[in-house]
Amino acid sequence: MILGSFSFLLFLFAVIIILVICQYIPIKMAERRLIDIAVLTTCSYIYVLVLHWSYALCQLFVTGLCYFAANFYEKTRKKQCIYFSIVILVGVLCYFKYTNFFVNSIRAVAGLDSVTLNIILPLGISFYVFSAIAYLIDILRGDYLAEKNFLDFALYISFFPKLTAGPIVRGKDFFPQIKEYRGIQWDAFKVGIQIFVFGLFKKIVLADHLGVFVDDVFRTPTAFNTGTVVLAAISYSLQIYFDFSGYSDMAIGVSKILGFDFKPNFNLPYISRNVSEFWKRWHISLSSWFQDYLYIPLGGNRKGKVRTYINLMLVMLISGLWHGAGWTFIAWGALHGVASCVNRAFGEKLKALGSWVNGAFTFIFVTLFWVVFRADSFPTAVKVWTGMFTAHTGINQPYTWSFFAIACLIVGTIVAWRHSKETGKKDRAGLLIIEGFYPVLDLSKLWNQVAFFTFIGLTFIMGYFGNTAFIYGAF
Amino acid sequence: MNLKKIVIHLIKIAVAFLCSLIILSAFALVYKHYPPQYDNSSGSTDYRNQANGFMSNMKEGHAWFRYDKNGYNNAVADDEIDVLLMGSSHMEARQIGSHQNTGALLNQYGFRTYNIGISAHDLIRCVANYKNALEEYNPQRYVIIETASVDIEVDRMREVLSGEYSKVKVSNHNSLLSKIRDIPGISLLYIAINEYIMRDFSRKDASFTQGYEQQEYEQTLTEFLSLLKDGGSNIGVIIFYCPPEEVQADGSIRYLTDEIKLSTFKKVCENLDICFLDMTAPFSELYNKKCILAHGFSNSEIGTGHLNKYGHAVVAQELARLMGKEEE
């Protein structure tokens, strides 16, 4: 049951119906809130239980551990219990996600054949473990008090729209909304459904179509001519963006329908003028997590140049490892680390080249880095890079969906630029800050309804319905 | 909210829905639109498209054309024909211009060809309809049948042999519901939503000839293909095989053909004096010399799906060469 699938829509419909029925139960507001939260938590557990019972068990373990650790800390002020819980959480994540990788890396060094241990990776573990760690550190820092209501806390960890691939929501953003929860509101519903369809369009029309071409070229890079390999690399940059931002939009839309507000997780990352800016615009909830809970505690940029570079490298390496258990992901993280260090060292000088040149270079580098991220091995990545930079013949595939996706991206950016011009927000250098926004319409107007219905129709008509999964769902 | 407001709201939604349907229908006419299909009383094919029906397709390939007066894809059609071309969606060629398909190209080579290729008409259906097609179109020199497989379903062959063959069912266009479904926007949405729902359910593929001994298979195939010779007509029969292809990791190409089935098919054709044309070598040459695959389009998976214009060109060239050689 992936987000946006037919079975998910049925599930969501059932949840909405139950919540609407709950609104008509003649009880006090506080009691109704309790019932609503119980319904949402139960449904979130059902969501994972239908996939595998062990997913729910793992989620329950993480929930229980953090809940009791935080409350125990608040009573006793013993920091050790928080540290110990964080170590266990990291251990759980490592066990499920990295055991096979570590075992096979050691076996490879020892010259032994690789083995696959039968370990099931619980759905969304990377995301909810990071939410849990953030919560414990926030409690330790005294940012807010430990949650006393177990149901509320269980919902924070398990809330189904954000479970599979985030966004990684912070406790300080989520708990106040739970406390003030008022069920499904019609105005929020109208906005949420538009954000959801917007995400669905990105996913099934753009990302999934691009995936067909990217899969073909990355499977057999040597069979294609230079232009096609370059187009495939660009297409993957677009695919992963539309796939993941599409997922995030759907998660944010569904959350909005159910009465929760989450911040956008992407902000036009491909207009970034350097790699550091890229990470402020790409998967914002993860980037800010790494900044707040790893980079800054390591000393950030406060302990001299060398230490800053080490911290940047370390954060990007761990970010790479978080994305996947493989050396290609670590290499991808390392490349971003080096690029971040270069930007740190020469960023001011590079600014002289101008926004357009810096933007183009950033896109080129990010696209080249995505190659190693997408490739199943280093030899494949090298083949793709070689294919991009050496003139050679092969199959020519000017994939039309790639051009359509590029056009969508350009049009979207122009619309965002015009919108940002109206708000007039500028950075310290006086340059306009271009920010993305959701094209939400006022659905009480007839022509807006026409536009929305047409957009839904186009999404389905142009959608790709082959076998696809969310790229970030695997992380 | 009072009742009046709710009614106005619902009317607004209904009007908006209708307006969007009009916009979607206009879009569908350009993006993907197939005309209605009707039962074919002559039996030359199980069904045919609406006469002179307009077709557009941007889902796989890019094509916009009108079917001919009989509902088939022919850019030009003479009353007297030399060659009757039968086959599946590959020959119907909804993915390319109507001047680029095998039938049109054979016409350019000087063979007056009429193409009754139509979707879902694999070799079994073509053989089942062969006699009726011959009667209706009376080709003077050849009947050419396309097949994308040489692994023929035994049970279905037996159905044809025993006369229990069931035709492709097309929807009735007289009911109100079917008339609504024929509206381009609704038709396309119906297909898309159906695909969207079905994605959640897995599909299984099975080998057609599993559980049958080779000898039994060969015997059934012989009896089945003999139907092409039963008419007593002197015209030649050509079956050409377009193998599905796949690009390999090293950049070479692999044909997804069961070699035993292929040699059986060849042998049976030879015994029955049916000309068999295997397109494997010409497709390989096309790829090895020009890096062009015979299947697939710029908006679909590489090397899969239907024959593209290059594939049709090679097929037409080989067929023309074969027919020329036969007549010498």
DSSP string covering A224-268, please? B-HHHHHHHHHHHHHHHHHHHHHHHHHHHHHHHHHT-----S---
DSSP string covering A175-201, please? HHHHHT-----HHHHHHHHHHHHHHHI
Partners of B303 on chain A (C-beta within 8 Å) are: 216
Among A323, A336, A392, A419, the one annotated catalytic: A323
Please write the tens of the pLDDT for every residue from A191-235.
999 999 999 999 999 999 999 999 999 988 888 999 999 999 999
Tens digit of pLDDT at every position of chain A (475 positions): 677 788 889 999 999 999 998 888 888 777 888 889 999 999 999 999 888 888 899 999 999 999 999 999 988 988 889 999 999 999 998 888 888 888 888 888 877 777 777 778 888 888 899 999 999 999 998 888 888 999 999 999 999 998 877 789 888 899 999 988 888 888 999 999 999 999 999 999 999 999 999 999 998 888 899 999 999 999 999 999 999 999 999 999 999 999 999 999 999 999 998 898 999 999 999 999 999 999 988 888 888 888 889 999 999 999 998 888 788 999 999 999 999 999 888 878 888 888 889 889 999 999 999 999 998 888 889 999 998 998 888 899 999 999 999 999 999 999 999 888 888 777 777 777 888 888 889 888 899 999 999 999 999 999 988 765 555 555 5
Q: What is the ipTM of this complex?
A: 0.86
Identify residues of B whose CB sits under 8 angstroms from chain A CBs: 12-13, 15-17, 19-21, 23-24, 27-28, 31-32, 185, 188-189, 192-193, 195-200, 247-251, 291-293, 298-303
CB–CB contact B298 A399 (8 Å): yes
Of B68, B21, B29, B76, the residue nearest B49 (C-alpha): B68
Q: In this model, does residue B109 exceed pLDDT 60? A: yes
Of B76, B113, B110, B116, the residue nearest B93 (C-alpha): B116
**Look-up: residue for tokens 């607004």?**
B12
Contacts of A405 by beta carbon, 8 Å cutoff, 6+ apart: A206, A209, A210, A235, A238, A239, A242
* Whether the Cβ atoms of residue A49 and residue A1 lie closer than 8 Å to each other: no
Quote the crossing angle between the two packed helices A378-389 and A327-350, to the nearest 10°: 40
Please write the tens of the pLDDT for every residue from A32-54.
888 899 999 999 999 998 888 88
Contacts of A445 by beta carbon, 8 Å cutoff, 6+ apart: none
CA distance A141 to A135: 10
Which one of A453, A456, A459, A468 would you mutate to disrupt binding with B, by most B Cβ within 10 Å of its Cβ? A453
CA distance B125 to B88: 9
Q: Is A392 a catalytic residue?
A: no
CA distance A13 to A15: 5
Q: Would you put residue B247 in left (φ > 0), alpha (ψ -120 to 50) or beta?
A: beta
SS3 labels along A86-102? HHHHHHHHHHHHHHHHH
CB–CB contact A223 B251 (8 Å): yes
Buried b / exposed e along B283-315 (16+ C-beta atoms within 10 A): bbebbeeebbbbbbbbbbebbbbbbbbbbbbbb
CB–CB contact B291 A395 (8 Å): yes
SS3 A343: helix
Of B145, B325, B320, the residue nearest B242 (C-alpha): B145
Residues 206-265 of chain A with CB under 8 A from chain B are 212-213, 216, 219-220, 222-223, 225
